[in-house]
């Protein structure tokens, strides 16, 4: 029994020695504190006794560092709430603008009045720089907002696989659609009714970043459906 006891003590001593010889690192300390949440309850003096380096105050305690981190999180949350409120306010303004635009369009009694309204509201109400409409069949009406050049190549290139194009156009495309160069960004919106393609709307902005591929298309989707329906009614195309 004595030899067995000596062996057990020797094994325990070797185990303790091996553990003591383990190099401490961040992972081991972190794992220990997570596995022993009562550590600071048993060693409460460490909460104020330990000093951590601080760029502005020299050193701070654990409690002070935690307070700093909480304040930073509060500031981040406040900024996020402010941004969300700003986005909500902007979306509300857009919704009201589009609602007004829809009512004006619905009240139009003729094709010319409809095109006048489209050109005026997009450039004045929405504060954009230019508006053009390209129709695959536009022989029945004359209007300055209609693009008379052959833009089928642009339509094939930019709208073949999508109902929208956001961004910049080549100079030749700008000339075909707007008969002038556009220094900013544009949006092209394909128009279709009953699965028949009618053409596209082209709207430009002087701001190069205004029309961005990441833009949400919900309002534009409603807008293009209404315009296509009204064009079909007034132009019988």
Domain span at residue 230 reads 108-235
Residues 210 and 185 in one domain: yes
What pLDDT does residue 228 have?
94
Last residue of a domain, one of 53, 73, 97: 97
Last residue of a domain, one of 97, 121, 144: 97
Q: What string of pLDDT tens digits covers the 237 residues of the chain?
A: 444 454 344 444 444 445 555 677 888 878 888 888 888 788 877 777 777 777 777 777 777 878 888 888 999 999 889 888 887 887 788 788 888 889 999 999 998 999 999 998 888 877 788 999 999 986 678 899 999 899 999 999 999 999 999 999 999 999 999 988 888 899 999 999 988 999 999 999 999 999 999 988 988 999 999 999 999 988 876
In a domain, 23, yes or no: no
In a domain, 196, yes or no: yes
- State how far the Cα of 119 lies from the Cα of 113, in Å rounded to an integer: 10
Residues 121 and 231 in one domain: yes
Residues 114 and 204 in one domain: yes
CA distances 234 to 58, 113, 141, 145, 159, Å, are 75, 10, 10, 16, 24
Residues 114 and 220 in one domain: yes
With tokens 């409409």, the residue in question is 133
Note the pTM of the prediction, 2 decimals: 0.65
What pLDDT does residue 21 have?
59
Total of domains in the chain: 2
Question: For position 178, which CATH number holds?
Answer: 3.30.450.40
Residues 87 and 152 in one domain: no
Nearest of 146, 137, 155 to residue 235 by alpha carbon? 137
**Residue 147 and residue 140 in contact, taking contact as beta carbons nearer than 8 Å:** no
């Amino acid at each position: 029994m004595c030899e067995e006891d000596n062996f057990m003590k020797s094994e325990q001593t070797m185990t303790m020695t091996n553990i003591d010889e383990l190099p401490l690192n961040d992972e081991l300390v972190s794992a220990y504190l997570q596995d022993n949440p009562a550590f600071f309850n048993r060693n409460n003096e460490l909460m104020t006794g330990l000093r951590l380096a601080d760029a502005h105050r020299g050193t701070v305690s654990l409690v002070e560092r935690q307070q700093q981190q909480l304040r930073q999180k509060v500031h981040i949350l406040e900024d996020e709430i402010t941004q969300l409120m700003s986005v909500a306010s902007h979306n509300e303004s857009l919704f009201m603008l589009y609602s007004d635009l829809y009512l004006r369009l619905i009240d139009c009694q003729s094709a010319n009045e409809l095109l006048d309204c489209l050109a005026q509201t997009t450039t004045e109400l929405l504060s954009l720089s230019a508006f053009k409409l390209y129709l695959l069949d536009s022989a029945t009406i004359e209007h300055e907002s209609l693009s008379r050049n052959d833009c089928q190549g642009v339509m094939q290139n930019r709208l073949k696989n999508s109902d929208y194009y956001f961004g910049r156009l080549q100079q030749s495309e700008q000339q075909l659609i707007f008969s002038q160069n556009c220094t900013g960004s544009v949006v092209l919106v394909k128009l279709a009714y009953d699965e028949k393609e009618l053409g596209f709307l082209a709207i430009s902005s002087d701001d190069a970043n205004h029309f961005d591929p990441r833009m949400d298309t919900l309002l534009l989707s409603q807008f293009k459906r209404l315009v296509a329906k009204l064009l079909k009614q007034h132009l019988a195309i």
